[in-house]
Amino acid sequence: MEQFLSVTPGVRLWTEQRGSADAPPLLLIMGAGASGLGWPEPLVEALAAHHRVIRYDHRDTGRSTWSYEQQPYRITDLATDAVTVLDGLGVERAHVVGLSLGGMLAQLLIADHPDRVLSATLLGTLALSTAPYTRPDGTVLPADELPGISPEVLELWSRPVEDHGPEAELDRRVTHWRALCGDQLPFDAAYFRDLERRIIEHADRYTTSPAHGLADHSGMLRTEELAKTEVPVQVVLAPAEPVFPPPHAQHLTQAIRGAHLTEIPGMGHALPPQILPVLTEAILSHAASATPL
């Protein structure tokens, strides 16, 4: 079921629900500049067999209002949007799964709205914390000295996005996904081309917005709140992650009280078909362990 929700005057978000209305709610939060359709259909369908799955388009993506030029916002406002989605759909508490920027927004929910979060699974993200990372050998690494984004991804992100038509845009997006997937699994270009073609059809445009990169990123640290949270948190370790490479995932588990680590072999900063069965099971198992009886 699709529904539009108003989050601020003149701004609406597209939302979609799958699964039984009586099942435990599960909110999927996508990354920067990414439509909710970035969550692959097989994953959404598998989760919807057990949950009321909710996904949505951020502002300036998909069918939601593209508003940044007229109404600039902060990244923290995108976390408020997630709460507004829950409010608008009548959801008191939900399991939350966040990827990349979505994982940061999930941390803001854990810190600022713990009463709305049943559990959280964090994918491909970094800790909103200044807590240092303690290596297995006991040495300590400051949070700001953790490894950075891979040169290949940085080079792609530095290129201007030029309009050469929809097919060229699909080529650009597939090249981007190839880099984000990492180097441990075979890359399925046709799968990602089909995914992006559906996203373009859904949005009815092939252009993209730089809004999430331009938005104010300040005020996101939640060191103390994450260190004392009681929300059950699962952090996915992706060994081929090129954006927030190991040990970012291990650092997350240290920065967030009670968090545990689940490794998805071969995973990078993307959701290719090979990892979906293992990822689905990890999400479902974590949510089941945290669902009140």
Q: How many CB atoms lie within 10 A of CB 102?
A: 29
What's the CA gap between 11 and 24, in Å, rounded?
28
What's the CA gap between 149 and 152, in Å, rounded?
8
pLDDT at 161 over 90: no
Place of tokens 């880099």: 179
Q: Which residues of 251-272 are buried (b: 16+ CB within 10 A; e: fewer)?
A: bbbbbbeebeebebebbbbbbb
What would the mean pLDDT of 144-150 be, rounded to a whole number? 96
Q: Please state whether the predicted TM-score (pTM) of the whole model is above 0.95.
A: yes
Q: Which residues of 28-44 are buried (b: 16+ CB within 10 A; e: fewer)?
A: bbbbbbbbbbbbbeebb
Tens digits of residue pLDDT in 32-88:
999 999 999 999 999 999 999 999 999 999 999 999 999 999 999 999 999 999 999
190 three-state secondary structure = helix
What is the structure's pLDDT at 292?
A: 65
Task: Say how many CA atoms lie within 13 Å of 45 toward its Cβ.
Answer: 5
What's the CA gap between 239 and 248, in Å, rounded?
10
The model's confidence at residue 121, banded by pLDDT at 50, 70 and 90, is very high
The model's confidence at residue 162, banded by pLDDT at 50, 70 and 90, is confident
Classify burial at 286, counting beta carbons within 10 Å of its beta carbon; exposed 0-12, middle 13-18, buried 19 or more: buried
What would the mean pLDDT of 228-233 be, rounded to a whole number? 98
CA dist list (Å): 136 to 189, 198, 233, 247, 254:
37, 43, 21, 11, 12
Query: Domain coordinates of the chain in residue numbers?
Result: 2-148+208-290
Q: Are 237 and 250 in contact (CB under 8 A)?
A: yes
What would the mean pLDDT of 234-261 be, rounded to a whole number? 98
Portion of the chain with pLDDT greater than 90, in percent: 96
**86: CB partners within 8 A, 6+ apart:** 25, 27, 54, 92, 94, 116
pLDDT at 23 over 80: yes
156 three-state secondary structure = helix
Tens digits of residue pLDDT in 123-135:
999 999 999 999 9
CA–chain centroid gap for 152, Å, is 21
249 three-state secondary structure = helix
For the four alpha carbons of 14, 18, 20 and 23, in that order, the dihedral sign comes to negative
What is the structure's pLDDT at 100?
A: 98
What is the widest separation between alpha-carbon atoms in the chain?
54
Structure tokens at 278: 């293992």
pLDDT at 278 over 90: yes
The model's confidence at residue 202, banded by pLDDT at 50, 70 and 90, is very high
Pick 2-148+208-290's CATH classification: 3.40.50.10860, 3.30.70.100, 3.40.50.10440, 3.40.50.1820: 3.40.50.1820
What is the structure's pLDDT at 251?
A: 98
How many residues make up the chain in this entry? 293
